[in-house]
Structure 1
């Protein structure tokens, strides 16, 4: 394989510390783009021979065609950085079958991902929630259309991204926003190469459940002519994945029945006393009834998810000398998804049901919280549902930036202007057929199940199409615009001051950002063959809509969590039948909201070098000032003034601002040959989600509550410090250990902030269910703080150091362990860690390679974590998950390479539970994925 390195000497007065530093930019980090390059500006030569500037650069690595050599380069760059950081190993991206950028990052120290139906979707750093991670591409905060701060990585193809670093200890020059860490992503530039370059790849992947074959292609082309250069890259992939899931098994408090009108309440109380010996003292006392639990719903579901993803980059660069560079970069992408969900569910807490017989209850497992769980119950009128759901979502992404790098008169000047935007349109439909009948619902070892009740009129819910009546075909549309603009100007000056020789350079600058989000929403309900018609309600049955067996409708055969098959209406039939000519889902003006956020940040920092005895010590001190203004506008429902039922959307707006000072300190010292001591301390913040800030009100009719936005939210802040030792081995290996501590204040969580009395609630067929008091929940900055401490260990070892016979073998492993103070987010005071925080995570890769052949196997593990707090009372956990991936490659010659890869080799399932594993909520299979590919580098 040809290397195309562009070298320049490192001009540093203390070359010992930087002796292993390399200047590298990942320019082929795409799966199937085996490009190798090193760039002049990855560790720029500092004016006056200042090494500190080089150490502040982000770690990057180049694709070299050798996994071992790429690991060595990553080690070199980690050593040269003044702060704590880790870099993606480019060859790891190129040779593993990662489905998107999130999965490409998961083998970095301290990095884990959240999976959704077998696909990596969000990135977590050091076990902290995904929204605590700041992400930028080409130094621009990245729009995704989600409205949150966490980036949805599934919209980005890994092939068009060239350089990724996780910075864990910020300097004042880094944009604030990463309590867990900051992920910096760069795309390639033409002067990263010193000759024309073209690379291409093609692959096909197979999912083990549905048997579909999915193609993927990509290419990169780059050339320079005189002072100018141009580069383009492109990637396109299709993915079809089936997921089988026994899920939706939530806790429901007994107040659902005990507060009901008529005889439902008294019967529930009598059955509790008769079958479980539970005497309810006050049926309206929520603190009492919220601790008596029954099973809300059991759902057997099959998802078929089809994705069409593409991404492209373009770069035009003008570089007349090593002291001047002007570049224009563009990035485009599209992520279109179509998901069919087929659901057979039993809703125990229906509006006309109550307890019939308690067959089994558990007063022991959660007794320390004063809770009794009814494990096995028959109900009088369970709402059995056959649901055909269809989701379309189209996300278009684009980003433009222009960057100036100029060294003049002893100054280094950097300037950036850019824009990042995303548009996301979604269309959702749900065809709902319902049958009310007695049934028995209970927990199983892995989830839940519904059985025919012994009472009269019980029936087989999976094979009774003629008993299900059409209720509605519901549709929703949502349109989101996410726009972010930024401008930054930086100045750096190297110094040689006789009166203060330790001060080697100063740097200062400013950054202005303007972010906005707009959201439109609408929904409607079809109950007949035309607009306003209700002709089909309670007259049209499931059997009238041409149902088929689910094992025939969805490719892949039988349902995996259990031995079930059921009749269902295909979504293609539902769309043709129920969307009559002229149908359109109208937008609801009252659901519109817009949030604008403008930020000005100023920073200054200084670099120092001193020799303490024989130990060279580098330090960076800085402070960042931020000033933020937020404007939020939307609508709020106000009860009709004329006394009629219903609410009128009323325009509402608010403005707010906040400011802060964020100091930072980073220090590096080589205390012995190859032994580096690092220390860092800083204050940083994470801004609240734009969705949480927005004036909006959504409703959960089944939970009897409104969820409002809160424009008065302030950022979540953290004071953090870290200390670590790193041993760099002569063979390119690394052993590292660090201890970090974070004190986090102002965590955003949902809290009860009001009650809306006498809210009219209708059944799906339009009949009156009743009038209820609805709780109002809002995101608020919680009082107090919590502390997270942790240890991170890294071992990167070529095994030839143990014996010559192990030449070519090696390991790359990392481990993160957290300890956190409990936050008490549950309204029932159930001790609960922060949502999204996993206390343990580790990655282990074993590899072998020679000139022709390479093989790797990698195991990634993430400990259990709280996904959400159900009804703000019951923490729901995603169970610990480990997955094995593998890759084999064979190089035919210097140009061509074949690869065979596998994701989730052992077909691991994902699972979850509420509070205790004996109350499972999810048992899900997404299958393994095997990929055959070929790639070429010309």
Structure 2
């Protein structure tokens, strides 16, 4: 008899797993005349992962796909959130970046096929949404580096691996097609994937490709941030005196010193209240190829190539009221709150009428494009007691970002107040008030604002490593020694420019203060983007479609010219040398394995940019050519990893290391940028040093005979040299201009620069994980199981509120957990996964007020049915809980954001040979 069940190409482990080989279909077990092929679905993949974890030195977690199109989430970031200690940043319903153990996303090192990933942005963080997840076969999060790892990142490192032909046996053909539906945009998006792989003797070739679209609409009531009263009180009379009088009359607040920001910064009113509809359209494609020569298990050479493109196009339609306009002040305070934040001495004006709120209709378009490519040559050779490996490769990305914003403005007295979901603006009692949503003739054209940016990101790397095995009578514990070196060269160049168009020809202001919103074609905002009515509030408004705006206000072929202050080029050259020793021995009857080593890194940074200078007429200008500056540093980074098999499936694991994360390239850039509304210049700093962490971790893991696992660990990190923005100087007598070209005034501008902060802070926490097949509890539950993890984080770091409001570290969520319930029975499989991330500080407004992203939980589901050995149908649902994204300032009674991105449901068909 022959029992046959096709291997489902999926493994997603939220238990602490090590780097795994691909989980291949199980071999037949021959028992007399009976041949049995063991089922190898999601559960079986977890069991195999647990077995390999038991033999691994360090702490790590993995997601594995043995086939193509097999991650159920929308992209790699959302797949990573299933792992212990990994959380993600979400932007309008889509996971974008991954954070490990509560540290900033910039603290995570990301590689593809052991090459640092070029992503086309100006920082170290990688935007995972640009990569086609169907091309990736394995993702591993390393939390305890060895000396051979490229620094390791302070938070951890994410290693991505694409497929190779000898990962499969012989011919492999897989194809999939699916359609996905968004509940708000009501759009249907296609996605296609294909993989072809074959081996002929010692040679193998693999090609995989993916192409797909994503259309997602987000409705948002947002932008309702705190604004300190010094905005009005530091203005000239009568704006400041009227604001002070209204405060005393309506709220009983008597201002003692209008110039004391410690006093006026504690009197709060609403900033900008906006109702927005976002339409995100994304086109993504990727091709992965691999040519492999493998004449034996002891020798292999692989050439891997990865190409792709990512084209997100975002349209935003925004009806907003800017209470803090330069013409406005307080008129009437209808409601205020002096109790909720009284411990900080703060009074919040909850409901206010203003004399001249700036009402804006904004039709905004972002046209972005990123093209990436990667090539790598990898060799592994074992001869006798020697193992030799070598790597050479290149990773590059070019990106462009084209922004256009059509802005119409109306200054009118209106009333703005907080609501349960955010904020709203309504007519006031002033006879000159109006309905801001339905009076297009009151809005005057101000400008068609444009920016354009190009970034070129190139990384080259070469590495060689030699391993020597030993069997020494005089030192039997020493099993092997590794020596290696790596050279890395990274270059990032950026150009940027911006310009406002105010007339039918460039430089003309013919439309300024003449053309109204009513003079353009207006369409109901929800009709422009498609789908149903605006879902956050019961309102409707009409705006200018972006297609019409581009054709009408933007000259054909126009692109914002590059400006000197928008240019920089940073080049980083790194030489690394490392050595490791591996030991296997017994303490009493307990077997112990140890890996210990160190990595020496020598880094040189060269940064160039146009620098601002004082001109002969007393103004400011820029150097005629880029000016270069250089920085350097050398470091030794030790590492230690060990595990011991205590007894009866109980394993003790420990690790310690020093790691670093290099500064963001934008911070290293030798340049100056201006923030005119904030009266601030920001400089780069090529002399920045890395941020360092001394870390250790210890954990216990209990393995059961049926493949179950329960594990827990405690980790500690001491982080020093964090990069923070600091006031480093002042530029006097800077002329600031209004949008129409007139002089706004002459001011002193503060100069801020990134610096390595003094001192250190601690991050510590617990991680627990469990993989439990319920069949171990009762036979009736066979096929059911859970895969769960929980992380608790704490930190001694506090945010930098200049008025001393207690602020947790930016980005740190104290509690996160993931729970996957699965069921497998013959051809049917189903999974329900819920992930939760506690609240965290997203930013600090005006360097005073912590702005929180509220706790967020999301339910995703997937189900599949194998029709026969060649075809499988799959159903997936993302955000089935339809959870809104919310935020607030200091206290939930002051919401800043309320967004809906809707559910996403997809139906697909897979075919394989």
- TM-score, length of structure 2 as denominator length: 0.95
Report the CA distance shift for 1:644/1:697 in structure 2 as closer, same or farther (over 3 A).
closer
1:650 CA displacement:
7.0
1:595 CA displacement:
0.5
Report the CA distance shift for 1:316/1:92 in structure 2 as closer, same or farther (over 3 A).
closer
Among 682, 696, 701, the alignment partner of 1:721 is: 696
CA–CA distance in structure 2, aligned partners of residues 414 and 95 of structure 1: 30
1:584 CA displacement:
3.6
* SS in structure 1 at match of 2:610: strand
1:864 CA displacement:
1.1
1:25 aligns with 2:21: yes
CA–CA distance in structure 2, aligned partners of residues 491 and 289 of structure 1: 65
* SS in structure 1 at match of 2:254: coil
Among 540, 560, 574, the alignment partner of 2:549 is: 574
Deviations 1:2-27, CA, capped at 9 Å, x for gaps: 7799xxxxxxxxxxxxxx99995338
* SS in structure 1 at match of 2:54: helix
The residue aligned with 1:511 is 486
1:706 CA displacement:
2.3
The residue aligned with 1:926 is 901
Worse overlay, 505-514 or 278-287: 278-287
Deviations 1:414-445, CA, capped at 9 Å, x for gaps: 10001111100110000000000111111111
Among 274, 277, 280, the alignment partner of 1:299 is: 274
Deviations 1:107-146, CA, capped at 9 Å, x for gaps: 1222221111111100111222211211110001101011
CA–CA distance in structure 2, aligned partners of residues 639 and 268 of structure 1: 38
The residue aligned with 2:592 is 617
8 Å CA contact 2:68–2:195 kept in 1: the answer is: no
8 Å CA contact 2:7–2:41 kept in 1: the answer is: no
8 Å CA contact 1:4–1:193 kept in 2: the answer is: no
1:751 aligns with 2:747: no
CA–CA distance in structure 2, aligned partners of residues 274 and 170 of structure 1: 63
CA–CA distance in structure 1, aligned partners of residues 692 and 395 of structure 2: 25
1:670 aligns with 2:661: no
Q: How does 1:469-488 map to 2 (within 5 A)?
A: 469-488=444-463
Worse overlay, 547-556 or 466-475: 547-556
1:653 CA displacement:
2.3
Alpha-carbon RMSD across the aligned residues, in angstroms, is: 2.1
CA–CA distance in structure 2, aligned partners of residues 172 and 928 of structure 1: 44
Report the CA distance shift for 1:355/1:37 in structure 2 as closer, same or farther (over 3 A).
farther
1:171 aligns with 2:146: yes
The residue aligned with 2:527 is 552
The residue aligned with 1:637 is 612
Among 63, 69, 72, the alignment partner of 2:44 is: 69
- TM-score, length of structure 1 as denominator length: 0.93
Q: Structure 1 runs of 4+ off > 6 angstroms?
A: 1-5, 20-23, 645-650
Among 219, 234, 237, the alignment partner of 2:212 is: 237
* SS in structure 2 at match of 1:702: helix
Report the CA distance shift for 1:556/1:21 in structure 2 as closer, same or farther (over 3 A).
closer
1:813 aligns with 2:809: no
Report the CA distance shift for 1:587/1:340 in structure 2 as closer, same or farther (over 3 A).
same
Among 394, 400, 413, the alignment partner of 1:419 is: 394
1:403 aligns with 2:378: yes
CA–CA distance in structure 2, aligned partners of residues 645 and 407 of structure 1: 63
Report the CA distance shift for 1:829/1:93 in structure 2 as closer, same or farther (over 3 A).
farther
1:796 aligns with 2:771: yes
The residue aligned with 1:863 is 838
8 Å CA contact 1:65–1:91 kept in 2: the answer is: no
8 Å CA contact 2:612–2:620 kept in 1: the answer is: no
8 Å CA contact 2:702–2:711 kept in 1: the answer is: yes
CA–CA distance in structure 2, aligned partners of residues 251 and 918 of structure 1: 12
The residue aligned with 1:42 is none
8 Å CA contact 2:70–2:134 kept in 1: the answer is: no
Worse overlay, 275-284 or 250-259: 275-284
CA–CA distance in structure 2, aligned partners of residues 645 and 324 of structure 1: 63
8 Å CA contact 2:220–2:276 kept in 1: the answer is: yes
8 Å CA contact 2:232–2:240 kept in 1: the answer is: yes
Report the CA distance shift for 1:168/1:23 in structure 2 as closer, same or farther (over 3 A).
closer
Q: How many residue pairs align between the two structures?
A: 893
8 Å CA contact 1:26–1:37 kept in 2: the answer is: no
8 Å CA contact 1:127–1:840 kept in 2: the answer is: no
* SS in structure 2 at match of 1:88: strand
Report the CA distance shift for 1:26/1:760 in structure 2 as closer, same or farther (over 3 A).
farther
Worse overlay, 406-415 or 797-806: 406-415
The residue aligned with 2:436 is 461
8 Å CA contact 2:273–2:425 kept in 1: the answer is: yes
Among 79, 83, 89, the alignment partner of 2:54 is: 79
Report the CA distance shift for 1:570/1:22 in structure 2 as closer, same or farther (over 3 A).
closer
CA–CA distance in structure 1, aligned partners of residues 568 and 622 of structure 2: 17
8 Å CA contact 2:67–2:137 kept in 1: the answer is: no
The residue aligned with 1:438 is 413
1:115 aligns with 2:90: yes
Deviations 1:781-818, CA, capped at 9 Å, x for gaps: 22211111100000100000110000100000000001
1:335 aligns with 2:310: yes
8 Å CA contact 1:204–1:215 kept in 2: the answer is: yes
CA–CA distance in structure 2, aligned partners of residues 22 and 175 of structure 1: 17
Q: How does 1:764-803 map to 2 (within 5 A)?
A: 764-803=739-778
The residue aligned with 2:116 is 141
8 Å CA contact 2:69–2:193 kept in 1: the answer is: no
Among 280, 298, 301, the alignment partner of 1:323 is: 298
Among 701, 704, 710, the alignment partner of 2:679 is: 704
1:873 CA displacement:
2.0
Q: How does 1:190-201 map to 2 (within 5 A)?
A: 190-201=165-176
Report the CA distance shift for 1:92/1:386 in structure 2 as closer, same or farther (over 3 A).
farther
Deviations 1:323-349, CA, capped at 9 Å, x for gaps: 111111001111001110000000111
CA–CA distance in structure 2, aligned partners of residues 234 and 678 of structure 1: 40
The residue aligned with 1:207 is 182
CA–CA distance in structure 2, aligned partners of residues 646 and 250 of structure 1: 34
The residue aligned with 2:848 is 873
8 Å CA contact 1:637–1:650 kept in 2: the answer is: no
1:477 CA displacement:
0.5
1:774 CA displacement:
2.7
The residue aligned with 1:393 is 368
8 Å CA contact 2:212–2:284 kept in 1: the answer is: yes
1:383 aligns with 2:352: no
Report the CA distance shift for 1:652/1:432 in structure 2 as closer, same or farther (over 3 A).
same
8 Å CA contact 1:282–1:288 kept in 2: the answer is: yes
CA–CA distance in structure 2, aligned partners of residues 818 and 478 of structure 1: 38
Gapped regions of structure 2 (runs ≥ 5) = 9-15, 28-37
Gapped regions of structure 1 (runs ≥ 5) = 6-19, 28-34, 39-62
8 Å CA contact 1:25–1:37 kept in 2: the answer is: no
